[in-house]
Each structure stands twice: as C-alpha cells, then as structure tokens.
Structure 1
C-alpha cells in the first residue's frame, strides 16, 4: 500500500480429501463420556465464563487473530445481489487444526449478520463479542484435532465514508481492500498474517457481471440468469491479501516470463484506453525476476477499479489500483510505472514472505519502496542516491512522528491504516540502503535473493532478516541494524557521513 502524491508455527498438512471426518456425532458423545472428571471440571469452569474477544497479542493490533488453532484452508462463497449497496449472501467454511483443547473458539468477524454456525456438521452456539464471533461446539475440541467450521452469514459492503476497507464500492460493483486488519469485515477468519492458509473463492453474480479472485479459475457455471466463478490459490495466503472483484469488467489475458499466466481486470468500456499500461506488466515481471529470483505465484495481474480509495494495494496475484492513477495526466509516466513495480515487488515481499507481526511491516513496504526506487533510477534516471539523501534528511522527523521503522507507533484511534506512515516506506528503504552501503552490493543482492527463497510461502520477522543478513555477509550485524531499525535517531550513513538529518520539531 504505497503512499502516493494523492496522498507461530507453520500449519499442519491438510489431510487428503478422502480422509475420514475426525468424528461423528456418536463419537463425540462417546468421547465426552470418557473424559476424565478433572478435565470435565476444567472445561465446565471455562464454559461458565462469559465469552470474550481474544487476540494473538500483536503489538499494534492486540485483538487481531485468535489463539488455539491454525487454519489450513478457507472456502468462501459469495452471492452478489446486483447492487453494491446491499449485503451479499455468504458461506465461509474453515478447515483448521486445534493447537490446544477448545471448549469454545473465536473467529474475527464484525460486519455482517451471522445466521448459523456448524462445527463438524453439527449446529454450534455462537455470539458476537466486540469484533469476535465466539463459537461454542456441542463438545470440547481436543488438541491436535481436525475441525471444520461453517458459518452462514451476510457480507456487507462498507459505506462510502468508511475508509477502513473490506468491500470497497466501485462504480460498477465491488472490490476488496483488507489491509491491515479488515478482512474480518468481509468474512469470518483468523485475521492475522501469521496464520496463512489456502483459499477457494466462489462468486455468483447476475448476468452482465464478471467475478475474478486470487489464484486461477477452476470452474465457471452458468445457471439461469446467474454465473458462478470458482478460483483457487496454489500457495498459502494471509487474509489481508484476499481479493474479489465483481463488476462489468473485461479480463485481459497475456503471457509473462516462462509462460506465466497474466490476467488483468479492467472496466470493459476502458479496455482499449488502459491497454498501454497493461502490456507493461510482463516486462516488469522480468525485471523483478532479475533482481530477486522467480516470481513466487501461479499468476499475476492488475485490477483497475473505478473507486476512490487513496491507495493502491498488493493483494496476492491481483494487485488493486485506482483507475485514475493511469488516466490522470498530472502523474508522469515514470512515476506510474514505478508504482506498478512497487505493488509487483510486494508479491515477493509481503505476500509470499509475509510479516510475522505487524511490527515487521517495514520488511514489506521498505522492500517494495526499494524496488520502486531502483526501477525509477534504471528506467527514468531518478537516482536512488538522491532519493535516499532526501529520505535521510527527513528520517528523524519520520521516526518522531511514526516510530522507528521496525517499531512503528500504534494506529491512531479510528484510523487503522495510519501505521502506513513514511517511516515504513522511504524510512525503511533507507535502512536497506544503509545495509547495502555497509556490506556491499554483492552480499546485499545475495541477501535479497536468499530472503525470498528461504521464507517463500511463509512468515518471517525482523529478527529473521537480521540473522540472515549476518549469515550472508559473514559478520554480526545485530548492533548495526539495531540502531537503524529501532533507534529514535537516524545513525550516520555509511559512505555518506556528510548527510544530515533535520531535527524533528519539539512536541508541544
């Protein structure tokens, strides 16, 4: 999500499709009868406590995510009524492993009506507390067991004045913008990037509409005056990266490097006007592959939405852009292309390698800004050094306003996306520049390739990056990067001791 001038453990493997269900209703009753008396007492005591919202303890979003289980897959089904101001009918099915015994479990969900919940095919009690949907199955779920949760609910588009995200209204339908913590405004989930999962997404819409989602299409079923599109991911995905576009759209297909399927989604009436921009993607993919290695997913493309969001967004395999970025004559060509590369770079940095916590956001945005700046240097002559010198001058102010790059200040009340400040964009790219200055271009480029290779399809933290940088460079970089990542003041720039940071204004 760029600033623009408009300014846990890995999940357990999924059982095969023909694996028997964990338990039947009779098996549940037999197991409940066989529980030790002490365990029953503990469960009854817990069940008697009132439901409460839970979180995984993220420093920036403490109520985000839920303990006790790891999600393996989501199956999302949406039925669009033909109006982007009316709720969609939805069914969310979650397959997960329990990591501890659960007498109740929490899902993040806060912007729709829940009509029913089942756990392993049996009705379950449920209630909403804060932004959590608290589910109580008929009997406790043992640790290490496979469970399936099915929630029938509505999925409600946000109002035009709501900038927190979720469903975003376009002029001809809907799109998603779920970063940082608003996927749970669209569907029940474990809404934290540390719990990635596979996704199947089904969308039913009336004739005249086209639906596109993350991953590759597997089925298109036309029944009466409606069509259902089914998409599946081939790589795990964080909930904040989910994308569904519903609109009067054209889907433009072409091939990228190594035959990669590239599909772009644009308003049908604007296809010809936008084609000069769409055809740039294969070359940008090839450019990024030369920098960091093979593209990590099964497809890529751009979703150009006629909407007023104020940002672009790196949803996995299908990046969201405002259409007017490409049609507004005030934006220079080099700038637009560099923003396209920013979102593309996120497919490696942030999507394939996701942040372990939201404090690790600098690893996403700093790297995307880095490759955005490199592209502008190579293609348009806007030098990286000049941009980094300007960033150095502003860095102390950014740190004062938003915190150090790896310890950003919490979001402001009512402004959940306010963690996306300059300190995690150019301020974080400045850290990468300092690191390259310190260890040299060769080791730095080797580090970048190793980072996306070793953590592909997973999550990683700032500590992981520091360890790998030390390993690749052959020297202990903990002290050097500690100051750059966590210091209140910007350290001296290696090779540019003459650069000066402008002091932040005192807080009144």
Structure 2
C-alpha cells in the first residue's frame, strides 16, 4: 500500500476560483475566466449525468460485520495529502483539500469515498472535474470515464471539515475534539470520514502528508515528523474604515509526513497554544511531547517517563516500529485516551488532578504505547479483530504494573475472570463483540474488549508456556509490521510457534458464550451474577478510569478508555 504522492498540495487557502497558491484569480485575464466558465460547464454537465443515474448511486461498504458501510470496495489508497486551513476559531469549519492517490483493484464507473459532516465544493479525478453526490455517509464520485482495474487514480476533493457536532443528531462523534485552545483528532472507530474523505477502514492503510495553515501564534503537530514550516498568507476579505483592503493575518503552514502506513482511525492533528518538548529515546529515537504551554513545567516528570517505558516495551516485543513517538495532552473532556499513531492522545487532567495513583497513570501510558505495536503497526483486518489490539495493550499495561509497581497481575486476572461471563453476556465474546447501538459508534469497546480479551492471552501463555508465548509476541509484530492481520493469522502463528493445534482452544476462548476454564486455575470461577464494578470515571462517564484511588484496579473494566 505505501506509495507517497509526488504531487504537492495546493497552497493554503486553495479553493475553487483561486490560483494554485491561494491568491485571488485575476478576472481581467480573459483566458482565466474562460477556463473557469468551461470548468463550471463541465461540472454542470457531469452533475446532470449523475442525476440521471441517481438510483444507482448508493452507499457501499466492504461488509465489516460491525460496521457494514465502512470502507469501500474497488480500490486501494496509497497516500493521502490533506491540506487544512484553520481560522483560529474551533467553532467554525476548516477549509480543506484532500488529495488521494489510489490504485483501482476493479473496474470503477463510480468511486465511493467515506465522507460526511462537511460541504463538498468540488471533486476532480485524474485532473478532470468529476460529478459527485452524497448518499448516507458516502461521497459518490463519477469520473469523466471509468477507471480500469490495476490503474492508478488521483482524486482531489475540496471541502470543509467541521469540528462542530451535528445539530439534532444522536451520534455526536465528529472526529475533531475541541480543546480550550484549538483542536485535536479522535477518529476511532469511524469518525475519520467526518474530518476528511477517504477509505475509512483499518484494512486500507496509507501514507499521510498533512499541510496545516493556522494563525502564527499557534502550534501544529501531526503524525510522523515535521518536514516543513513556513510563513503563509491567506486572502483577506475585510476592509479598513477607509475602505482599503486589510492585510491578511499572519499565518504559518506546517507540513508533517508519515514514514509508515497508517489507518484512518489513528490519524492525528493537534492545533493549539502548545509547547513541543523534545528528548531522545532508546537507540536515538526522537521523541516529542505536545502539552499546553502554560503547564509544561509541571508535566515534565510525566513526560520524562516515556524513554523508560519505550525501553521496557522493546525488551518484551522488539524494536519500536515507527520514526518518532510522544504523548499529546489535551485540555478537553474526552472520557478516553487514544493511541493515535506516533502521538498518543490523553486528557491533560489525568496527569494534573492527583485523582489517580501514579502506578495507574503509568500503566495507562504503557497501554497506549503498546498499541503502537498492536493496533497501529499491525492493524486489524476487521473490527471483529480489534480484540487483538486491546488484549495486548491491556496485557502489557497489567504486566508493567506487575513488574514496576508490584500490582499483582494474577490477582487482577482472577478478578477479571470472576466477572468474565457477565462481560461476555453484555458485550459478546472477545472475537465476536456485539454490534454498537444506535448513536454509539464506539459501543464495541466494552469491558470484554479489554480485560475479557486479556484473559485469552493469560490462558494462552498458561497453555503453551512462557517461552513460546514470548516468542509468539515478537514474531507477531515482526511478521505483520506495517500491515494488516486478523484472528485467523494469530491462531495460525500461535499454532506454528507452539507446535500445537490451537484451533479448538481459540474457538472456545474467543467465541463461546461462557468463559472456558482457566488453565492451571481450576478453582477460578466466573459468576454471571457478580455485580459489575462502578464506572471508572466520576459523573457516570464511561471513561475507564477509577473514580477513587484503587489499591488494585477493578476487574472487568477497560484499561483507560472505552475505545482504542
């Protein structure tokens, strides 16, 4: 999948009717006006063709059991180049240009993109205007001519990206999270297409370039590494009191590029009054943390823990898989933490309220760090395979707390096992989670996805032995690095590494309604009637953090969030 686009994005502020660098077009040049008229006529003609065939223009999907309309068939995205222009107000839509480089895997008369909650201004396919229509949460594009299987295509969508929740809608997830001083992204599970058009399913990973223009007093950070930063000018429509044109406000364009393919759900752009704290991790790995500038000093003790946590994770599963890492601490009420690639998202108040014990916060930091291997570098083939992400992140969260803070992993696992039948009844078994309810797209991230799935790994280690389990963990992330893998892949590799046929073992542990007996612990029992511990966030928010300072983490709850 990873092929970088060789075509630069238009300059900041680019939009229909403007020059390539965002400067206003000059009407006195007849050739430019004629070009625009021809373009408009072409769009009208194309729109008429689509209107004639609207009954055939329908949302598609790749048939994911949990999110059947997510993703689109017929093409493979190789790269996204996304330009965003932020006015400085997080209650207004951003101007955006998304360029998609893809390869058709089947003949396409139409191309479906996942996109909703934004205004589409124009679409081009391979340099020619293309008709488009929105149906459901799909943007359906009709190229000037069909695209043959095996051929590359380049789609350019000029649109807005709206950080405001939809009016009157039950589903308030928009991808963007508004912070006190700007914006951050939280796209999991299916909110990326509320930010930019694309193929919004983790099975289609791609390279990313973000070009973000913002007022010069703000700092922008995105996935990957910064490759450019330069002053820029936006067209200014206002006038002074004397009627003269006013100078555009000072803005800066920041360009970030990923070196590794990434799923849409873990894309990240942070805009705000932030400090970027840099240090060096294991084997010279560049680290950068993004924190509210005013709080940099008091957050430093937490930020300084990342190099040691990286070294610990590498001792368990091998070399960190990406070009950089860091944490993003946002001044926002999220109710979760999220493993956005190379830059994990956290609520700042997790580190500043002194509401949670230090061992617990450190374990949550490791949970999100572990996801860089399990979930980001190795992405799930379907959303039913997400147990592979969360079981491993929870496993290393627990193991870190066990080794570094003497919080017994066996005791936590026993407590989780005692309520595991209840977790399965409420959320489905780990390998076949229940579908989310209406208006709750992240509803698959129930307790069974976390502690319930970690039980599978605990049972697996007991069955095949510690040495084989450790070998399996390293082999899994090495074999599927930068790729996509599913449950069948894990079962096959575990069987190969252990020299055992584990098909029956995994069928029971992943799909049975009742929890199988735990190997080596015949005395452990799961009681369906065991009361579920209270929500881990005060005020009833399903945030996955303890409302009080627990001596031992309550069983049957998520590691630190209801998603990711």
Aligned partners of 1:123 and 1:138 also within 8 Å: yes
1:361 aligned partner:
386
Residue number in structure 1 paired with 2:211: 202
Q: SS of the residue aligned with 1:200? A: strand
1:88 matches 2:113: no
Q: Which residue of 1 aligns with 2:64?
A: 58
Residue 149 of structure 2 is aligned to residue 106 of structure 1? no
2:4 and 2:85 map into 1 onto residues whose CA distance is: 29
Selected match of 1:191 from 191, 200, 204: 200
* 1:47–1:103 CA contact under 8 A, matched in 2: no
The equivalent position to 2:377 in structure 1, one of 352, 357, 360, is 352
Name the residue aligned to 1:117: 123
Instruction: Pick closer, same or farther for the CA change 1:162–1:175 going to 2, 3 Å.
Output: farther
Tell me, what secondary structure is at the counterpart of 1:276? helix
Using the alignment, how far apart are the partners of 1:128 and 1:171 within structure 2?
32
The root-mean-square deviation of aligned C-alpha atoms, in Å, is 1.8
* SS of alignment partner, residue 364 of structure 2: helix
Matched, 1:308 2:333: yes
Are the equivalent residues in 1 in contact too, given 2:184–2:268 (CA < 8 A)? yes
Q: What stretches of structure 1 of length at least 5 have no aligned partner? A: 1-10, 19-42
C-alpha distance 489-232 of structure 1, shift in aligned 2 (>3 A):
same
Give the aligned partner of residue 375 of structure 1. 400
Question: 1:420-499 maps to which residues of 2 (within 5 A)?
Answer: 420-499=445-524
Q: What does the per-residue CA deviation read over 1:384-438, in whole Å, with 9 as the maximum and x for residues that have no partner?
A: 1001100100100000000000100000111111110011100000000000001
1: distance between equivalents of 2:3 and 2:309? 35
Mapped contact 2:180–2:332 kept (Cα < 8 A): yes
Helix, strand or coil: the match of 1:416?
Answer: coil
- 1:69 matched to 2:72? The reply is no
1:174 equivalent to 2:199? Answer no
**1:164: how far off?**
2.1
Q: 1:323 aligns with which of 348, 360, 366?
A: 348
Indicate the SS of the match to 2:389: helix
Partner-residue secondary structure (3-state), 2:442:
helix
Q: Which of 214, 221, 224 pairs up with 1:212?
A: 221
Displacement of 1:55: 0.2
Local SS of the residue matching 2:329:
strand
> 1:159 Cα shift?
3.1
- In structure 2, the partner of 1:385 is 410
2: distance between equivalents of 1:338 and 1:102? 47
Deviations 1:338-390 (A, max 9, x none): 00000000000000000000000100011000000000001111111001100
Alpha-carbon distance in 2 for matches of 1:325, 1:184 = 28
- The alpha-carbon distance between structure 1 residues 165 and 159, as it changes in their structure 2 partners (threshold 3 A), is closer
Residue 538 of structure 2 aligns with which residue?
A: none
Q: Deviations over 1:245-291 (max 9, x none)?
A: 00000000000000001000000000001111001000000000000
Query: Following superposition of structure 1 onto structure 2, how do residues 327-342 of structure 1 map, counting pairs within 5 Å?
Result: 327-342=352-367
Number of residue pairs aligned between Structure 1 and Structure 2: 470
Measured after TM superposition, the shift of residue 481 of structure 1 is 1.2
C-alpha separation between the residues in 1 aligned to 2:6 and 2:368? Answer: 35
Aligned to 1:29: none
> Structure 1: how far apart are the matches of 2:308 and 2:164?
36
Q: Alpha-carbon deviations, 1:2-51, whole Å to 9, x = none?
A: xxxxxxxxx3x638849xxxxxxxxxxxxxxxxxxxxxxxx99x957430
Cα distance in 1 for partners of 2:163, 2:55 equals 34
Q: CA deviation at 1:454?
A: 0.2
Q: Distance in 2 between matches of 1:209 and 1:47?
A: 46
Q: CA separation in 2, counterparts of 1:398 and 1:412?
A: 16
> TM-score scaled to structure 1, two decimals?
0.90
Q: CA separation in 2, counterparts of 1:165 and 1:116?
A: 21
Q: 1:288 is paired with a residue of what secondary structure?
A: helix
| Cα distance between partner residues in 1 of 2:93 and 2:400 | 41
Whole-Å Cα distance in 1 between the matches of residues 438 and 149 of structure 2? 37
Counterparts of 2:201 and 2:394, CA distance in 1: 23
Q: Does 1:14 align with 2:3?
A: yes
The 1:16–1:429 alpha-carbon spacing in structure 2 relative to 1, beyond 3 Å, is closer
Secondary structure at the aligned position of 2:56 is classed as: coil
Q: Does the CA-based 8 Å contact 2:491-2:506 persist in structure 1?
A: yes
Distance 1:248 1:282 in 2: 25
Measure, in 1, the Cα distance between the counterparts of 2:155 and 2:140. 12
Moved over 4 A (4+): 15-18, 46-49, 160-163
Report the Cα distance in structure 1 between the residues aligned to 2:378 and 2:3, rounded to whole angstroms.
21
CA contact (8 A) 1:163 1:309 kept: no
Find 1:410's aligned residue among 425, 430, 435: 435
Moved more, 112-121 or 160-169: 160-169
